[in-house]
Chains A and B, each alone.
Chain A
Amino acid sequence: MTGTTRLAPDTALQRLEELGRSSDPSNYIVDGIPPRLALELASPETVAEALALCAAAGLALVPWGGGGQMGLGNLPERYDVALDLRGLAAVVDYEPDDLTIGVQAGCTLARLAAILSEHGQMLPLDADDPERITIGGLVATGLGCPRRFGYGSLRDLIIGITVALPDGTLARGGGMVVKNVSGYDMMRLHFGALGSLGVIVRANFKLLPSPEAQRTLLVAFPSLEEAMEGALAVRGSQLAPTALVVLAPVTAERFIGMARWTLAARCEGPEGAVLRQAERLRETAASATSDARILEHEETLRFWSSLQGKLGATPLANVMRVRIGELPSQLGELAAQLVTEWGSALEDAVLDVGSGLAYVTVAGTVEELRGAWTRLAGYGRHATMLAAPGDVKAGYDVFGRHPEGVAVMRRLKETFDPERTLNPGRFIALL
């Protein structure tokens, strides 16, 4: 077999520094481990070059956006270089009348939302720290929000991608049109692959018109069973809320000051229609023993943004967050089991009934959290540790039970990243 000679690591590090600006490695800690070099890059070409240098020298690289989702991933197998992509933040291609946008990976959600709102458009995403979360981070982690119930997730809206590969090339897939079957779906290959097959430098999306008005119906129930019954009645109706969740009492108290199992349904559309929709949702969900109220437009935005903070992968100290996939009709049973097992250790629990996902945050010592994971990993259809201190992760696969097809994933890794340059060890099955 032929191959290329290796570059000495120190030579590679030196040449890497010439590509961009060095930054303080202590700001790029992954699970307690700092890199040897942190590098800010400002063009797709230099990213590709950096990847090739790392690959040639056998260095391990971690792509970095805002760092807001860095809780997700296994302990790094090696970690030499952090690649800060926040300098790669241009909106490359935006024609509002086409309802499409092409944006570089380092663009923050806040900046993107500001540009889109000038034209009455949006990507239906929520974030509690939009100044920090980057588009590249959202695509790489594939973490969604409850609005997927109404609009689909970012996975449904991505129409094009450009990635830098360890062979030093930039490869595109898709394009700038909303309907496209030309070639393989490279967008979904990289969506949620944690940058393990390529570093995302640009993504294109189809956009949505911003709704004129928003309201949120909140209904507090005396029991989990009644709350789930209400939520499933809404799910089965034609009332089409854009998000539908049930909050555990501890979480409901934190966000809306009612320590009860609480249903939240989001309505988006023309002003008059939204008010009527919220009213009809109340009629469908509420019971004799429940209390309902409606959040106004601004309150609605605040509520869902801050709630997202309990559904993400921000690195956490002293607590562990787990995402469990389960059929909407089974989420109630799952929640009951969680309450029985963890009781007061349950810091937060949010049931995304629209999607079929439960988000659980558990408090405890490292040993307690490790014990909790061994049980939680077996729950539902799938379970993922979204964030936890590095000591909790050690020796486990945070992606839980492996789906079928891991052998194919391994071959993809061998093909696209033969030197194990990109996030080695951090993705599923320690890929």
Chain B
Amino acid sequence: MDRAAIRTRLLEIVGPDGLLDDPDELLVYEYDASDEVFAGHHRPDFTVLPRTAEQVSAVVRLANEVGLPVIPRGAGTGLAGGALALRGGILIVLTRMNRILEVNERDGYAIVEPGVINLELSTALQPRGYFFAPDPASQRACTIGGNVGNNSGGPHCLKYGVTTNHILGLEVVLPDGERIWTGGPVPETPGVDLTGVLVGSEGTLGIVTKVMVRLTRLPEGVSVLLAAFPDIESASHATSAIIAAGVLPAALEMMDQLTIKAVEDAFHAGYPREAGAVLLVELDGLQEIVAENTGRVAELCRQHSAWEVRVARTKEERDLLWLGRKSAFGAMGRLAPNYYLVDTTVPRTKLPATMRRVEELSREYRLSIANVFHAGDGNLHPLVLFDRHRPGEVERVLECTTEILRYCVDVGGTLSGEHGIGFEKRDYMTLVFTTEDLCAMAGLKRSFDPRELFNPEKVLPTGFRCGEVALLRQQALAQRFGLEYV
């Protein structure tokens, strides 16, 4: 089918206001929030903005018929290039499917469309006494569908768990265009846990058209502490001490000196400028438990060299302390024209050594690195600052960040804690996984998407195409028993 014929068919499905295919209109869809310097830009053949699940399904069926790739996209805030149209094709933007369809607080769930913005959902639930726990830094812009695709995290995942712990069920359009529901409002649905498999699959297995989310009861009590430390090392030790003491904070965030200064210059959150590092700790739960733990955490911070511990008593004070943390990425513009954000997780006990290594690499590669991260669960976010117009700097950034990843993997960590693998990190997958591990993952992909039309070139590294994998497996078996092919 030629381009004009495909265009006609798409128009029939989504209508004239649901289709973009003019190069000027497509320009914005050549990018997502990943850095163009590293990920490049890739133009889709068409961008569609469906309003219903039926339309999504019809577009997928058409794509199948004509053999075009399909790339789902929410708000495009992903940092790993997951929404880039690397092989062209049809970009399905789900932002117009943005209704909250049902809220059932008695039974603890809500059903929403994938284009609902994360913060809007929690804002809508708040008056009823509930919230949606995952709260990525981009929560003012990112969509629930994107959260599902990337199994997004956020500060409050320390206590409440990541997105997958809060998704009860999904309506999903499979690569053949069929639409099914997985999971449901009550646990232990019989069969393979397709919901669990789909969450975090980065749009490579299906497109989510409805999401059944778990509602979490707002806690009775909340307190927020800010503790100032002389350096990152002592703040890291305090972090370990808090966790080891059996306290599970709702959030435990760290910022280094460079970040504190940037944040203070930009937003005046009232953080102590002289601090080498600050910890922001939120505790929630029953009043009695929060009161007791607030005292314990303050004491543990002081024992680990904190020279100032502030406790926010009111909601306004709490919001002010959080403002600095939530605005940290935005403040980076004060330090350098560009930054590259590395997302990686290490075992908590490896935090101090990892931070030392990041500092070493910063010196070695002559690049400033700011650190603002989820210390409680070992999820680092070194921000490597640079200027893309300075010759040789982009290459140095790439080498430096690769070294950071390599170190984190060496100490038992992983490639990405919450941002996803996407296109950006697919070729690093072999640092963590063996050929056998990746073959099994490719088998999962093949079971859903045998034609590899769904978000191609993502997650699995180059060289793990489905066809090659089947052959590898047969060879392995034959070799083992000295059997021959027939």
Contacts and interface: CB of A to CB of B under 8 A. Distances in A.
B341 to A, nearest CB: 14
A404 B378 CA distance: 38
B444 interface: yes
Contact of A409 (B107, B192, B414, B432): B192
A228 to B, nearest CB: 12
Interface in A247-282: 269-270, 272-273, 276-277
Given A4-B474, A177-B378, A177-B413, A98 B347 contact: yes
Contacts of B286: 238-240, 269, 273, 276-277
B414 A175 contact: yes
Q: Which 7 A-B pairs have the closest CB atoms?
A: A188-B196, A209-B246, A356-B186, A171-B440, A404-B180, A325-B186, A273-B288
Interface string A82-101: 00000000000001111110
B486 A189 contact: no
Contact of B433 (A152, A165, A183): A183
B106 A328 contact: yes
A167 B348 contact: no
B418 A181 contact: yes
Contacts of A235: 106, 108
A116 B247 CA distance: 16
B481 A188 contact: no
**Interface centre among A120, A143, A185, A193, by most B CB within 10 Å?**
A185
Interface in A1-54: 2-5, 7, 49, 52-53
B190 A180 contact: no
Contacts of A169: 436, 439-440, 473, 476
Contacts of A172: 433-434, 437
B6 interface: no
Interface in B451-478: 459-460, 473-474, 476-478
A137 interface: no
A210 interface: yes
B239 to A, nearest CB: 10
Nearest to A325: B186
Interface stretch (B37-45, B50-58, B112-120, B212-220): B212-220
A189 B108 CA distance: 25
A97 to B, nearest CB: 5
Contacts of B447: 408, 411-412, 414-416
Interface string A342-377: 000000000000011100000000000000000000
Contacts of A180: 345, 414, 416-417
A61 interface: no
Interface string B413-424: 111111111000
Contacts of B362: none
Nearest to B461: A183
B289 A269 contact: yes
Contacts of B443: 415-416
A70 to B, nearest CB: 17
Interface in B388-417: 412-417
Contacts of A193: 192-193
B150 interface: yes
6 contacts: A168-B477, A177-B347, A325-B184, A402-B191, A405-B194, A412-B192
Interface string B373-396: 010011100000000000000000
B188 interface: yes
B28 interface: no
Given A238-B219, A403-B189, A428-B190, A179 B483 contact: no
A17 to B, nearest CB: 16
Nearest to B291: A273
Given A5-B484, A169-B473, A179-B345, 13 more contacts: A98-B348, A144-B188, A172-B434, A177-B413, A183-B429, A186-B441, A191-B196, A236-B106, A270-B289, A325-B189, A403-B189, A405-B180, A414-B447
Contacts of B292: 270, 272-273
Contacts of B474: 2-4, 167
Contact of B194 (A120, A197, A382, A409): A409
A381 B366 CA distance: 60
B187 A52 contact: no
Contacts of A382: 184, 186, 188-190
A184 B459 contact: yes
Given A152-B161, A152-B165, A178-B377, A184 B197 contact: yes
Interface string A175-216: 111111111111111011100011000000000111010000
A32 to B, nearest CB: 23
Nearest to B217: A238
A394 interface: no
A238 B285 CA distance: 8
Interface of B: 104-108, 129, 150-151, 153, 157, 161-162, 164-165, 174, 178, 180-182, 184-197, 199-201, 217-220, 240, 243-248, 285-286, 288-289, 292, 345-349, 374, 377-379, 412-421, 425, 429, 432-434, 436-441, 443-448, 459-460, 473-474, 476-478, 480-481, 483-486
A21 to B, nearest CB: 22
A95 B144 CA distance: 34
B459 A179 contact: no
Contacts of B218: 238
Interface in A411-431: 411-412, 414-416, 427-429
Nearest to B241: A97
A79 interface: no
Contact of B217 (A185, A240, A406, A429): A240
Nearest to A57: B481
A183 B428 CA distance: 11
Contact of B106 (A120, A178, A329, A380): A329
B418 A192 contact: no
A111 interface: no
Contacts of B478: 4
Contacts of B220: 238-240
Contacts of B217: 238, 240
A428 B194 CA distance: 13
Contact of A177 (B190, B248, B345): B345
A143 B188 contact: yes
B189 A182 contact: no
A55 interface: yes
A56 B188 contact: no
B193 A189 contact: yes
B477 A181 contact: no
Given A2-B485, A189-B192, A236-B106, A404 B161 contact: no
A326 interface: yes
A4 B477 CA distance: 8
B286 to A, nearest CB: 6
Contacts of B420: 181
Contacts of A409: 191-192, 194
Contact of A355 (B186, B191, B377, B412): B186
A142 B417 contact: no
B477 A327 contact: no
A173 B187 CA distance: 23
B446 A415 contact: yes
A156 interface: yes
A52 B481 contact: yes
A191 B190 CA distance: 11
Contacts of B105: 236
A187 B441 CA distance: 11
Contacts of B446: 415
Contact of B200 (A56, A184, A428): A184
B461 to A, nearest CB: 10
